[in-house]
Each structure stands twice: as C-alpha cells, then as structure tokens.
Structure 1
Amino acid sequence: MAAARGRVTGNPAFVVGPVRRETFGAFVEHLGRCVYTGIYEPGHPTADDAGWRRDVLDLVRELGVGLVRYPGGNFVSGYRWEDGIGPKEDRPARLDLAWHSTETNQVGLDDFMDWCAKAGVEPMLAVNLGTRGVQEALDIVEYCNHPGGTALSDLRRKNSSDEPYGVRFWCLGNEMDGEWQIGHKPAAEYARLAATTARAMRMADDGLRLVVCGSSNSGMATFGEWERQVLSEAYEVVDFVSAHHYFENAGVLEDHLAAGVVMDRFVRDIVAHIDHVKSVRKSSKAVNISFDEWNVWHMNSPRTPLPSGDDWPEAPELLEDLYTVADAVVVGDLLITLLNHTDRVHAACLAQLVNVIAPIMTRPGGAAWKQTIFHPFALTSAHARGTVLRLAVVSPSFASPRHGEIPALSAAATHDPASGEVTVFAVNRSTADPLHLDVDLGGFDGLQLTEALSFTNDDPLWHASEQDSTSVLPRTLEGAALDGGRLAAELAPVSWSVFRLARTAGMTKGERRA
C-alpha cells in the first residue's frame, strides 16, 4: 500500500515572525542534581578552577542554548539570593522546602553569572515573590545591574564583577497560582504584588523585560480567570505572561504523540486571554508569552521518591527521567509548535538542563552523555535561522483516544534572507504508517538540498544510557530529493526530520539529492 501523503507549501512572502534565540532557552533550578554534580562538581576530572564541569559546558554549547532561567522553579519561592554570594566558606546552608533538601549555597548568583559567560548563554532570573517582595526584588536588580557607587552594586564589585551583569529577563515569582508553591497567593493578591514589584523594578532599570506568572498548567481550575485578573492589574508594566506545560507518555503512544497539538491549543488559549485584557483596557501595548517551562516529564513513572521526614539530603537524585526515541520526536514536535507561534511566544525554556528531566545526564565523578531529546533540540537550534514561514499544511490524520483525530504531519520552516538558506522540520506522528512528504518551495529560486537527517528507530521506546548513547542518532534520510522546487521524502512512523537547503548561484532547476 502506498504511503499516505502530507503536503506543505512555503513561500518567502508569508512569514510568522523572526526566529528568536530566546526560543532555545533552558532551565537550571536548585533541584536534585541539576546544579550539584550536574553543572557544578569541584574535583571532577574536567572541572575548571571555579568547579564547573567542562564536559557539561561543552554539551551545553553543542545543545545551542540561548537563554537559561535560574534559580527556579518552586525553589525560588523560598530562596534568599544573598545566601549565595560572597566567600563560599561563609555561605549558610538552608532547608529547601520545595524539594525537601538541604541547600548548601555553594552555587549562587555570582557563580551562575560566571557559568553563563562560559556557556555563552543569556540569564533569565526569577525573583522570590513567595516569601519575599518588592524590596528584595529591588535589591537583586541593584546588585546585578547598577554600575557602582551604591551599597549593593559595590558589593557585587567586591565579590565578583566590576561591570554590571545587565540582566534583561526577570520572572516575577513562579507558579504562584499553585497551592504547592511556598507563599501561594490568590490571583488578586498576586496581581497587586506583581504589578507593584514590576513598577518599582522599572524605576530602578527601565530596560527590563518582565514575566508575570500565568497559570501553572492548562488543567488548573483557575486557568483563564487567573490570567484575566493578573493582567487586568499588571498589563501595562509587564512584557510576558509565563506558560508552563509538561507532557508524558501515560501508556498510549498515540496520545503522547499528540503533544504538539495540545501545546498549540494551549498557546492559542493564552493569546486569547491576553488579547481579551488588551481589548478591555483599550491598550496599544503588546504582551506576549514566555513559555519558560516545557518538556516531556513522566510524572507517573517509578523514580526516586521525594525525601521526607527527617531526611534532608544534599542534591538527591530526583526526576531523572530516561527519554525514549518517541519522547525525542515529541520534543522536536513541540519545538515546531513554538517556532510556528514565534509571533507571540518570544521566549521558551526546556526544563531542565542537566540530570533533572534533562537532555544531558552526568555521573558524579564520571561521564556526561546525551539523552535522545538532545538531538532535535540541538539541530533545531543550529539550523533555524532568519524568519519562520507561515506554512500551508495538508495532512492525513490518526486517532488519539484522548485527543481525537490528530494530523499525522507536523512541520515548520525557516528562511534566512541573508544567506538564502531554507530549513524544513517535519514530524510523522503516526505510530504505524509511513508518510510521503511533499514540500512546495517553488517561491524560492536556486535551492539545493544539502542535508536530510531523520531521528527514528524500529523500537520507539529505546532510550540512551551511559553505556550506550550513540547507537540511535540522527542519520541521513536516504531518498530525500529536491526536484523543480519540490522537496520529497519518506518519513518513517514516529520520526523527526530536518532538511537543509542552500541557495546556489547559477543553479538550474532539476533533481538535487541529499
């Protein structure tokens, strides 16, 4: 039986918006082994003089991360940033109520800024609006961003850096709608605190980009009403509403592979809530989305339980999910969704970066390796450039028991006007049927197919390990061809693929093979 056909049309005249480096963000929280024995391990064979694992730094650079959110997450709602500055021997150990652990504060604000510079990433800092408030937010902004001549800016100069850090992105708390959050507040109370804090922070530094807490997930009973109340108070003083959503394989693979559709609906709902407030306020200001927590997270899988009682360990093994090929396909599909909403999603953070539901894993004192989800993220970050095209996609569908009829084909494409390069990203969500991909790029002249890669495996539940992280990798997709401005390829079931096309001067139209 012939493969079903999926058709895509892209033209340089139809654009969603720019490719944003902030879309390829990640998240470092003081949770489990993300920081300690993750990015930081003094005494490790690869550690630099500051204690940073250089093997992990190399992988972070290869991953192509552009932005990193820190220090939480739930952790931030009980955090005192002053604990993590100054001489390490003088830093206090504290109870971390969010993850029932002991926080040594051997890594703190100045250390993280040093790590960001070495990793080549931009920081996104979160302020504690759970147990703290306006004054503490002003203090950390002064410490980070004021040049000097004040108590806190001079303290930074004494501790670490003569030059200000110039942090642009700031989150006004974390998941404050959630009853699990330390200092949880109802919408009206949080809205007033966030708006007051935002106004004060802007008085200290008018170049900040501020993220107000949206709903913790789309399943919250207050989703939508929370956004309405918070934005009604804070709309004119913030730039972004946060979005958080995690996806898991709960046993039905077809449901898991519908994650891109679920994310798409979630983004559209948030946009509707934002724009409703904009309309009611008769505002000319645009507020957009910071999707600063997203990933696959198998919340119901067996794993090390959260410590309890009198057990307050340092950096315990928590949330160390092992990711399958199918999970990687889902992550690639979620990146496609984020790109296709680049007009309204202006930042996004894969949660998290190392060990904790992460693309990078480490063994204390030993190796670092890539999980399956590393590959679609790294390749999308490396090759998405210029603008995101507004595609017309026609696709066969398959049945998801939970989500109904789902398009089998998911696609995004980017075009770099400067170089002429076009990159197409495609996912076949079907668990059973191959898909013939037909992409009409007739609006672009002189393209040559230079690379076609696909990530798939006969066993979609294969996962990488320390012993074997390389037997399933993105591989050349045989038979992919460009002929007369049309790209054709056969996509295996449960697969993620990328096609790179370059503009070659003087080329004539004809068949071009990868």
Structure 2
Amino acid sequence: MTRARLTLDRDFTAGPVPHRLFGSFVEHMGRCVYTGIYEPGHPAADEQGFRTDVLELVRELGATVIRYPGGNFVSGYRWEDGVGPREERPVRLDGAWHTVETNQFGLHEFVDWARVAGVEVMEAVNLGTRGVEEARALVEYANHPGGTAWSDLRRKNGHAEPFDIRLWCLGNEMDGPWQMGQKTAEEYGRIATEAAKAMRLVDPTIELVACGSSNSGMPTFGSWEQTVLRHAYEHVDYISAHAYYQEVEGDHGSFLASAVDMDYFIESVVSTADAVRAAGKHKKHIDLSFDEWNVWYQTGKETPDQPHVIEREAVWREHPRIIEDEYGVTDAVVVGTLLNSLLRHGDRVKVANQAQLVNVIAPIRSEEGGPAWRQTIFWPFARTAALAKGEILRPVVASDRYGTARFGDVDLVDVSATWDEENGRVALFLANRGLDEAADVAATLRGWRLGRVLTAEVLDVPEGGDRYTANTQENPDAVGLRPLGDVTVDGEQVALRLPPLSWAVVQLEATAA
C-alpha cells in the first residue's frame, strides 16, 4: 500500500486562483473549427452555424479564455481574409498544416461564438510573415470605437461596438524552425517590442504576451527568454510557455511524472524573467502564459527541436483529420497532474490554455453530422475549473516515491489544493501515479473547522477496462467520474484512499478557525 501525508495551513497560500488559468485554444487546424465548433447544416447548429451540442460541452468544461486563431497557423495568416461578406473571402493555402483554408470562419464569427460560449478572447497576431503595421491595424479594427478606416470597416462588417479584446499574443513559437518567419531571439525581441508599442498606441489598456521557448528542450531555452525580455520587458505583461507530453516506448513511469517537467519549466522561466527584472532594475514582474499544454502523441514524428512535425498528404484538403488523439485513463491522470502543477504555480502562471478545444488533441470530440462527446481528459479539467476557487494553498506532501527513467525518484501521490473562504470550502485535487497499488492519504488541515464532505469523486480504470480505456463515439461514457468512498473527517484530520492510477477531487465544508 502506498502512503502519503499531506499538510495544509490556512495561512500558507500562494495567492488567488487566476481566472484565466483554465483556458483553451481554438486553431484553424484539422477539425477544430470546421465540424468542431462551427458546422452549418448540422442538426444541432444554430442560426450562425455554431454547434450547440459542442457549446454545451464547452460550458460544462468551464473554459474561461480561448486563444485564437493559432498556433502555427497564425504565422501565415492574413486576418483581413476572415472578415467581410463570406462570399467575397479568399480561399488560401495554409502551409502550417498543409490544408485549404476557406476563411468562412474568421474574427467576427469567433468573437460571436466566444460571447455565446461565455469565454474571453485571447487573440494572436502574425509576426511571422507579417509585422508591426498588420498587428497595429488589427487592434484598431477590433478595439477602436469608430471614425477611422479600420474601425469603420468593422462597423460596416456588422459589429458597431468594439470587440474589446484585452489579451493579445505577439506571434507564436517564433524560435521554432517549423514556424513560418522563424526569428532569432534578437530579431524577435525587436519586432515584439515594436509591435507592442504600436498596438498600445492604439489601445493602451491591452495585455501582451511575448513568445517564450516552444518547449524546454529547445537548444536556446533560457537564453531565448533572457534576450527577448531584455528587449521587451517594459512593453509586455507575460512570456509564454508551451509543453506537450506523451508516453514513449512504454515508459509509463516518466509519462506519469510529466508534471515534474512542467514544474521545472515554469520555475526556470520565472527565474529567468526575475533575473532580467533585476538586471534592468524594472519595477513590475513578468508573469507566465502557459498558452499551449496537453498530452500529444507524436511517436515517430518528433525530434528535440521540431515537436510539431506531422506527416503531410500530397493532396491539399479542407479541415482534414489531424492529431485526433484518443485519450485513455493514463492520459487523464497525467492531465490532472499538469493542472495541479499550473495551480501550484498560480502566483506566476496567470494564463494557461489547454490545446486544443475540440477534435485536435482535445477534451471534446465531435463528428461531422454526428454526436459530440467528452474524452477522458475532459473530467479533471472540468472539475478543477469548477472547484478551484479562492486562494491557492501551499501543500506539504510526504509521499512514497518511485523511480523514473527521466526524472529520478518522484512522489507517487501528487496534490494541489484551494481555499474558497467566501463559500466555506477546501478543495483537494489528488492523483495516484501508481499502476498497481492504492494510496492511503492522511491529510492535516490546520486553521479550519472542518464539516462534511461536499464532493468526493474519482476517475480510475473502469471495471473490465485497463489504463488505455478511452471514451469513443460508440461508448462515450466508458471512463468518467464515480463516487470516491471512505473519505473520513475527524477534527483537522482527513483520511482517504486513492485507487491505483487515479485522479480525484475532494471538497470539504470548512470555516476559518
């Protein structure tokens, strides 16, 4: 039996849970947009062509902010192609994903969709094949009230009121050789600075995200962030981080410990940003936007500096099936631990976007003309987004450990926690990385008077299944949440048992002592 001791204290907090920590990502890639969120003619489509069955799942997922329109796609994108009458919009080749882009869905449609979904828009600008003027013009088009050429064009195109987009990405993965318009850190630092200045001359209230390293394995990781921020520190608010994880050659132990790498990534970027702050004698802190993260299986296609390679067909197609990963129980547990990592670092990670929202490495799947359903990874995200409220607690964990090929010895039990004083609730988010043994967790919660157990749910291997069991179109409910039994509260002590390979949430009634 695995054992873990957990201590929480009401006074040891990391700050408030960031609202934007539970973001997602919609890119013009594969079937994320077309037949994902947008499918005119579908039985569930509304008058704008938005799939209402997908919208219902998006609301249930609890996504708060959606990054759009890419991703690699944005580095070759002309935003003007996606506005105005649909019959006049040009059809283009998208080199990023070797597809035909019809531009039937663009900025206006996405803003309308986001408002229906109840999410904030996070807009990316093209600093790959385009530059400062195009970025500046897009802010004017989106956010200026009227009386200028670009803002009046928006009004002519059907939106009299500004879109009021607050959060903007200054390009995407500009360090990557796979990126159209790849730049050195010096080149990118300069164009990001000038684009930021120009965009803020139009709207000084916007928040800006500079591109960090595409992953922590990039040869320039660390030095890239240092150089970019040396140029852009005073002109941006966040620097980005991207990370994808997969099980390689049956090394389930390292895969289940993926959050250890995310911890390292976050803490390394924070250290670098703070070093630039000190060297430049800057007053503000730069926070992180972890605006791409997920499990993504790239076996046989990845290289250390080229994580986005995809085998391409000779034929150019509209919205082909691309990286529609089917997620099992193991993947859901890993996603739960990645959410734990983001939450534990919520003092500096203020924005995070799971990539992507529908069909493309996504928590939600849909079929053209058919149903939509939840993947296994839907559940940890949805419950964490719903229940992680108030203040982030700093857990002290003493867990039995196991050996991994990549990360050495790692805790078998992974934990994050929050304290919602307004509603009188402490939430524990826990994962058991062990494949074979249950884990007994003994938690001490100091500074509260504990009451009843409000929520106790677990995702684990279903009866008759295994760790690869997934939710499919034929069996969409194969894996889900079930009640977690035997959670006991005795004074300040809480005891529970996690099944092998599981993710769980326990919500307790609590008042400050």
TM-score band (shorter)? over 0.9
- Residue 268 of structure 1 aligns to a residue in which SS? helix
Question: Contact 2:454/2:507 (CA < 8 Å) preserved in 1?
Answer: yes
Distance in 2 (CA, whole Å) between partners of 1:298 and 1:272 is 30
Structure 2 residue aligned with 1:144: 142
Structure 1 residue aligned with 2:439: 435
Q: Does the alignment pair 1:130 with 2:128?
A: yes
Q: Which amino acid aligns with 2:460?
A: T
Distance in 2 (CA, whole Å) between partners of 1:308 and 1:457 is 36
Which digits, 9 at most, give the CA deviation of each residue in 1:308-327, with x for residues without a partner? 43x11000000000001110
Distance in 2 (CA, whole Å) between partners of 1:365 and 1:488 is 47
Instruction: Pick from 479, 482, 485 the counterpart of residue 492 of structure 2.
Output: 485
Distance in 2 (CA, whole Å) between partners of 1:4 and 1:419 is 33
Q: Which amino acid aligns with 1:13?
A: D
Question: Contact 1:101/1:307 (CA < 8 Å) preserved in 2?
Answer: no
- Residue 448 of structure 2 aligns to a residue in which SS? coil
Question: Contact 2:458/2:483 (CA < 8 Å) preserved in 1?
Answer: yes
Structure 1 stretch displaced more, 151-160 or 61-70: 151-160
Instruction: Pick from 347, 353, 368 the counterpart of residue 351 of structure 2.
Output: 347
Distance in 1 (CA, whole Å) between partners of 2:236 and 2:382 is 30
Q: Does the alignment pair 1:403 with 2:399?
A: no
Instruction: Report the number of matched residues.
Output: 503
- Deviation at 1:305? 6.0
1:206-245 residue pairs with structure 2 within 5 A? 206-245=204-243
Question: Contact 1:387/1:414 (CA < 8 Å) preserved in 2?
Answer: yes
- TM-score if structure 2 supplies the norm length? 0.96
- Residue 124 of structure 2 aligns to a residue in which SS? strand
Structure 1 residue aligned with 2:52: 54
Structure 2 residue aligned with 1:198: 196
- Residue 476 of structure 2 aligns to a residue in which SS? coil
Same amino acid, percent of matched pairs: 52
Q: In 2 relative to 1, CA 305–228 (structure 1 residues): closer, same or farther, beyond 3 Å? A: closer
Question: Contact 2:450/2:491 (CA < 8 Å) preserved in 1?
Answer: no
- Deviation at 1:504? 7.3
Which digits, 9 at most, give the CA deviation of each residue in 1:264-305, with x for residues without a partner? 011111111111111111111110100000000011179x96
Distance in 2 (CA, whole Å) between partners of 1:221 and 1:427 is 32
- Deviation at 1:446? 3.9
Q: Which amino acid aligns with 1:281?
A: G
Distance in 2 (CA, whole Å) between partners of 1:257 and 1:461 is 13
Structure 2 residue aligned with 1:471: 478
Structure 2 residue aligned with 1:36: 34
Question: Contact 2:469/2:478 (CA < 8 Å) preserved in 1?
Answer: no
Q: Which amino acid aligns with 1:75?
A: F
Distance in 1 (CA, whole Å) between partners of 2:414 and 2:510 is 25
Question: Contact 1:5/1:435 (CA < 8 Å) preserved in 2?
Answer: yes
Question: Contact 1:99/1:306 (CA < 8 Å) preserved in 2?
Answer: no
Structure 2 residue aligned with 1:360: 364
Q: Which amino acid aligns with 2:312?
A: P
Structure 1 residue aligned with 2:257: 258
Structure 1 residue aligned with 2:291: 292
Question: Contact 1:448/1:504 (CA < 8 Å) preserved in 2?
Answer: no
Q: In 2 relative to 1, CA 19–38 (structure 1 residues): closer, same or farther, beyond 3 Å? A: same
Structure 2 residue aligned with 1:512: none
Structure 2 residue aligned with 1:460: 467
Distance in 1 (CA, whole Å) between partners of 2:126 and 2:282 is 29
Distance in 2 (CA, whole Å) between partners of 1:111 and 1:501 is 41
Distance in 2 (CA, whole Å) between partners of 1:228 and 1:132 is 24
Distance in 2 (CA, whole Å) between partners of 1:475 and 1:296 is 23
- TM-score if structure 1 supplies the norm length? 0.96
- Residue 9 of structure 2 aligns to a residue in which SS? coil
- Deviation at 1:402? 2.1
Question: Contact 2:31/2:359 (CA < 8 Å) preserved in 1?
Answer: yes
Question: Contact 2:400/2:411 (CA < 8 Å) preserved in 1?
Answer: yes
- Deviation at 1:447? 2.6
- Deviation at 1:306? 3.8
Q: In 2 relative to 1, CA 272–355 (structure 1 residues): closer, same or farther, beyond 3 Å? A: same
- Deviation at 1:329? 0.5
Structure 1 residue aligned with 2:61: 63
Structure 2 residue aligned with 1:499: 506
Distance in 1 (CA, whole Å) between partners of 2:442 and 2:402 is 19
Structure 1 residue aligned with 2:375: 371
- Deviation at 1:203? 1.2
Q: Does the alignment pair 1:326 with 2:330?
A: yes
Structure 2 residue aligned with 1:78: 76
1:117-196 residue pairs with structure 2 within 5 A? 117-196=115-194
Instruction: Pick from 305, 308, 312 the counterpart of residue 307 of structure 1.
Output: 312
Distance in 2 (CA, whole Å) between partners of 1:277 and 1:135 is 28
- Deviation at 1:21? 1.7
Q: For structure 2, list consecutive stretches of 5 or more residues without a partner in the other structure.
A: 302-308
Question: Contact 1:453/1:474 (CA < 8 Å) preserved in 2?
Answer: yes
Q: Which amino acid aligns with 1:20?
A: P
- Residue 17 of structure 1 aligns to a residue in which SS? strand
Structure 1 residue aligned with 2:24: 26
- Residue 497 of structure 1 aligns to a residue in which SS? strand
Question: Contact 1:5/1:396 (CA < 8 Å) preserved in 2?
Answer: yes
